[in-house]
Structure 1
């Protein structure tokens, strides 16, 4: 009897980070394997790393927090017009403002996919992911990052 190589193979979760750019799909569809968070502050005209940490355990609540923080919220009025409710122009290419405080969160999921989320802290606040426009940061995300990255 000839056996197929694929008979006993398990199928891993799909690498969905790169493809999930839509408004309704979760940004991080697969469980996380690792997370690294860093805080940068301005020193003259440069940003300098002030603190960083890596986590490999207990990441499911963090995945949920990042999915919530990167979700576009759309409100539809009585006429059917949709409004981007949690958008901000902080960090848009046409709005040149030097960042003085920035947090970054790098995540790797169990498929091996890796992505970055940038959280501008000052002079304005915004969450940016995968080339998307800025979103107003959720207080829970800012509090978690402060707990991890404040001296």
Structure 2
């Protein structure tokens, strides 16, 4: 490691926090993915169903859905292919603008989400919140809000 450069190295507490994060984050996502897999979904699939369920008329413009999921248009197409094939989501043209494609949650998709949501919430609770007290939950939210604010500022500065 080159220590001759002018780098603001992480102090021991910061390094420990960073290592804890990187060592647990993929294990956590994998555990939640395994739990959703019992219902035939990935975490990404579940996110699609949630975003569509919360949208007006259970429909979103494809470009807005891609932005919400932080996917490219082709990434969204790949993500939706399985949900469309399963009858959980459909693609349809917008009634307001023929140039716009919409992602629409079907009745079958809503049923799947309603069946899966209690199991997903139980998984998240068991894997995260059962290990935290009320103060830690508040700190966790504060931490991720601060990180999100910093990321948004960086994105705005580079745009």
TM range (shorter): under 0.3
Query: More helix per residue: 1 or 2?
Result: 2
Query: More strand per residue: 1 or 2?
Result: 1
Structure scoring higher RCO (CA < 8 A, sep ≥ 6) equals: 1
TM-score normalised to structure 1 length: 0.22
